[in-house]
Amino acid sequence: MSDEKTTETTVEEGKADAAGTVLDLRPPKNGIVYQLLRLGLAFDHRDDGGETWTDYTRGVTAVFKDRSSTEVMLADMDTKDSRIVQLADLEKVIEIRTWRSDGAGD
């Protein structure tokens, strides 16, 4: 786990109650990680090419350089077809269809 990215976090005033303070580790809503989680992908690995996120059930991978990236390459695991999608466009995506998820259906 030594290669995992850590971010310095401060606890905001007013975020405490009688039980203690709440530490929110969720990613920012305006970032690639949030959008990939929203679409059902999960972290797979990080290497020299960046981060790879996957959804093995639907057969989709997402690769991006780092968490401040403004674009991501989404690919179908079976057909190897891929598209580069800008973050602003990714926010509008409601579903990713692949050969594994929908076959030849329309």
Residue 86 lies in a domain: yes
In-domain check, residue 51: yes
- Please provide the DSSP assignment of 2-47 as one string: TTS------PPTT-EETTEE----PPPTTSHHHHHHHTT-EEEEEE
Number of separate domains in the chain: 1
pLDDT in tens, the chain (106 residues): 455 555 665 555 556 666 788 999 999 999 999 999 999 999 999 999 999 999 999 999 999 999 999 999 999 999 999 999 999 999 999 999 999 999 877 6
The whole-model pTM stands at 0.79
**Domain residue limits at 76:** 29-93
